[in-house]
Amino acid sequence: MRSHKWFTPWLLLGPALIWVLVFSLWPFINTVILSFTNARPLRPAEPVGFAQYERLLTDEQFGYALITCLIYVVVCVPLLTVLPLLLALLVEKTIPGIAFFRTTFYFPVVASVVVVALIWSWIFDSQGVLNQALEWMGLTDKPIAFLVDRWWLLATAILLTVWKGLGFYMVVYLAALGNVGKEQHEAAMVDGAGPIRRFVSITIPSVRGAMMLVSALIAVAAMRVFTELDILSNGTGGPGGYDMSIVMLIRQVGSGLNGNLGYAAAISVALFLLTLIPLSAIAFMNREKKAKVPA
């Protein structure tokens, strides 16, 4: 058997390792360092200790951004955890023409979120197609401020996120459902279990791992939401900036020649810590599940 040199694996890992170090690890370390300074684009950075984090705790705008992201998480996680599963159950059947529906449901995932958001901003505008249709049907006397009112704007952005994410998570569930044995369902049917009982007692326990993964992905994505709110609000974050997300706030604070890079870095670190919460919860639940499995 031909032996390899000790450095052969490192030659193969080298390019990927250098990429991670240069474009992931170093920027993260630099961001943490900047968060303890008052860095700005046109002046040298000076250490300020925890001053940026103290400001973070009293910043009203950050509070609004945090509330927006938390609402996004609370609404999107259950919707995008359950609805794609129901959709996957509908399209997993092998019947003529089902491939067309699978492709149709997945199409929003392929479309650019920027393009989709621009189309939605045109539809939900005060003079857009939706308001004109509602007025024509006599359902409203005046245009609904979908993109101006704080809560309507947030609801519209969440609806866009849910609509665009259905197809992606549907595919995840389709893969998980493929591992569920039909024998379990057939045995349950023999015992007289109906569709709802089989769904609760067989389907959900069988895809619980996929549901946990989907929930974590959605929670992290919801905390980092940007494009939907940015496009629909035209970059303003809604009236008074109440619908501004944390990522939008980072851009606002850190952009421009007078941008406060130190404070923007502190917000970025806070966002990173917030995204660790759902991931840590999933890891804890997985460990609990493994601990309950008999050896």
Predicted confidence at residue 294, as pLDDT, reads 54
Q: How much of the chain exceeds pLDDT 90, in percent?
A: 47
Does 9 have pLDDT greater than 60? yes
Predicted confidence at residue 70, as pLDDT, reads 95
Is 0.85 topped by the overall pTM? yes
**Dist. CA 148–CA 158, nearest whole Å:** 15
Domains of the chain, earliest start first:
58-292 (1.10.3720.10)
Q: Which residues contact 187 (CB under 8 A, 6 or more apart)?
A: none
pLDDT tens-digit map of 87-139: 988 888 777 777 787 888 888 888 889 999 999 999 999 888 898 998 888 88
Mean pLDDT value of segment 200-210: 83
Predicted confidence at residue 81, as pLDDT, reads 93
Predicted confidence at residue 117, as pLDDT, reads 92
pLDDT tens-digit map of 221-231: 999 999 999 99
77 vs 198: which has the higher pLDDT: 77
Predicted confidence at residue 290, as pLDDT, reads 62
Q: 192 in the Ramachandran plot: left (φ > 0), alpha (ψ -120 to 50) or beta?
A: left
* Length of the chain (residues): 295
Predicted confidence at residue 273, as pLDDT, reads 94
pLDDT tens-digit map of 40-94: 988 888 999 999 999 999 999 999 999 999 999 999 999 999 999 999 888 887 7
Q: How many Cβ atoms are within 10 Å of 281's Cβ, its own excluded?
A: 14
